[in-house]
Structures are given as C-alpha cells and as structure tokens.
Amino acid sequence: MLIDVSTMSHVNAFDLVTVGHFAIDSILSPKIIHRREALGGPPTYVSVAAAKLGAKVSVISKVGDDFPREYLKWLQSNGVDLSGLERVSNASTSRFVLEYRNWERRLRLEARAPPILPTDIPSSIRAEIVHVAPITNEISSGVVTKLRRSARILSLDPQGFVRNFDEKGNVNLKRWRDPEALAQIDIFKSTVEEIRAVTGFRDLKSAMKQIADYEAKTVVVTRGMKGSTLLCEEQFYNIPACELNVIDPTGAGDTFIGAFLAEYLRVKDALWCACVGSAAASFVIEGVGPERFGEKDEVYERAQGIYEKVVGKK
C-alpha cells in the first residue's frame, strides 16, 4: 500500500522526482572504525540536496517493513514528499555494506526491496525533471519509457543497470547497453567505471561522446576527489573537487546530481550547475551518510570558488 505521509493532494506538481530504491547502508572506512548504519540510496541524497536549493521534490520507491519510521520523519523534515513511497509487507528494504579502503569502495548487497514496476508509476505524475536512479536492477526499460511521458527532462544514473551480484551479494560491474532507454535520456550522470560499462569505451571522452550520440544534451562523469568531467554543447569541462577532510564519500555522486538538477531548473547553465553539484557534494562527504548538507548560501559560495578554477571554461 502507498504510505499517505504527504499533505499534498496530488503527485503531479514537482520540480524533481527521483525513482529508485532507498537503502539502509552499513558503512566502514579508515575514519569509521565501527560499522555505522545510515539511510542511503539515491532518493535520499538526490532529493535532500535538491530541496536544500529550493526544489520541490518527491520520490517513487519501495521499502520493506524494516524501514525505520524515524527515516520517514527525517526525510519529511528535509522537504521530501513521500506520497510515492510504498512500504511492502513481508519484504525487506534494500541493504548494502559499503567498505572503503584507500577510498576505493567494496559494495555488498545484503537485501533487496521489490522491483519498481510500470504499474507503480502514477499516471497523474508530472515533473519538470524525473531522475532515474536504480541501485539493484529494480527498474526496467518499460519504467523508463513510462517516465519519459511524465517529465519534461529525463535524467539517468545507470549504476543499478550495470551492477551484477554474485551469490554472496558482492557487486561487480557488467556490460549494459539499452539503446531504446538511452535514446530517451536528456541528462546522463555516472562514474568513470559505469560509463565504460555502458559504452564499452575505455577512453573517457570517447565514452561521453557515445552517450551524447544517443541525444543526451548533457553528460557528466564524477571522478571522486579528482572532480568531474562535463560534456555539454560539444565542449568538455573539468570541474575540480573541493580539497576537504573526507569522512565518508557515500552519496557524493547522488548529492552532486541532485544539486545539479535543482540548479538546472533555475539557470539552464550546465557548467555552473556542475559547479553547484560539486559544491553540494563537498558538504556531504564531511559527515557520515546523509548527516551533513550545505545550505543554499554555503553551496553557492563554494560553487563560485569552483567555477573560477574550471579547466576548459571559455
């Protein structure tokens, strides 16, 4: 059943709707010695980052009976509409163990929520931007096609499409190529490894050009502490990351694209939006999980400093 936790009467008036699983993350890193459990998944980081910049946000997702009520309250208190969230009886929320060594991540799936089906997409939904962000192969190409009809701009993070899970839940990347789905995307965001898995190209610029050939107007690839690379209007830009004390990099990429998309609604300048995304991500990595997000003025201040250092800017 749908959790009726929104005070809004319709789900058709949003700036940004994120589609994909919430997750409960168990995090270990050189700076987190004792395993920490935190709310995770793209709907968390994308939505809150966008809401901090003033966007009206919602989600389409599924969780199990084990999804804590305090997570629902925290999301609502941070401006996330949850009328499209379904709690499924006798099911589990998607759960991951994330272990960082020298800031390289090992990922293991412990539990998986039920898939998001085309019938789970409300026919009434309308959004300026819909961001498709699977993490456990929970979204099909049929869902992407239905969402295309609901959004003016369709954004994709393919991470869940390129993941393969062995019998122990260990995550490895697999090749994923779906020309029909890719041809419907306006904004594409991934890591270096993921775009290679989608395109088959090792060279980053070649891979990004391949995605652009599917008619994506904007392609952005996050590269951790090396920053990100943007392709827009046939021009490449290198956007630096902030030099900070990294506590936990979980959610940085999702925070990046959440802030990027929120700002894109306002200015349509992809380069500036990428700097805003980089700035927003720099705040979340200073805490554990989603405990720290920058406020609007703080994000813009850091974004201006990043913008001044962009390589490739005209």
Q: What is the pLDDT of residues 229-242, one digit of tens each?
A: 999 999 999 999 88
Answer whether residue 139 is part of any domain: yes
The answer to whether residues 42 and 133 touch, using CB atoms and an 8 Å cutoff, is yes
Are the C-beta atoms of residues 248 and 35 closer than 8 Å to each other?
no
- Whether 5 has a pLDDT exceeding 70, the answer reads no
CATH value at residue 173: 3.40.1190.20
- Give yes or no for residue 112 having a pLDDT over 90: yes
Residue-by-residue DSSP string for 291-307 = S----HHHHHHHHHHHH
* pLDDT attached to residue 33: 64
pLDDT reading at 41 higher than 60 = yes
Examine residue 2 and state whether it is found in any structural domain, yes or no: no
Please give the average per-residue pLDDT across 80-103, as a whole number: 91
Q: How far apart are CA 255 and CA 49, in angstroms?
A: 5
d(CA 194, CA 160): 10
Domain presence at residue 4: no
Structural domain for 217, as ranges: 14-307
The whole-number average pLDDT for the span 28-50 is: 87
* Interstrand relation of 57-63 and 80-81 (parallel, antiparallel or unpaired): parallel
What is the structure's pLDDT at 224? 87
Mean local confidence (pLDDT), 97-124: 89
Cα–Cα distance for residue pair 312/310, rounded to 1 Å: 6
Spatial contact of 134 and 21, defined as CB atoms under 8 Å apart: yes
Predicted confidence at residue 12, as pLDDT, reads 52
Mean pLDDT of 286-297: 90
Share of the chain above pLDDT 90, in %: 77
- Report, as an integer, the average pLDDT of 277-295: 92
Q: Kindly report the average pLDDT of the chain as a whole number.
A: 91
Q: What pTM was computed for the model?
A: 0.92
Please tell me the predicted confidence (pLDDT) of residue 45: 98
Q: Which of 59-63, 77-81, 306-310 is least confident? A: 306-310
Answer whether residue 6 is part of any domain.
no
- pLDDT of 114 > 90? The answer is yes
Is position 220 within any domain? yes
134 occurs within a structural domain: yes
| Residue 8, in any domain of the structure | no
Look at residue 314 and tell me if it is in a domain.
no
CA atoms within 13 A of residue 224's CA, in its CB half-sphere: 12
For the chain, the domain total comes to: 1
Q: Mind listing the pLDDT tens digit for each residue in 135-172?
A: 999 999 899 999 998 899 999 999 999 999 999 999 99
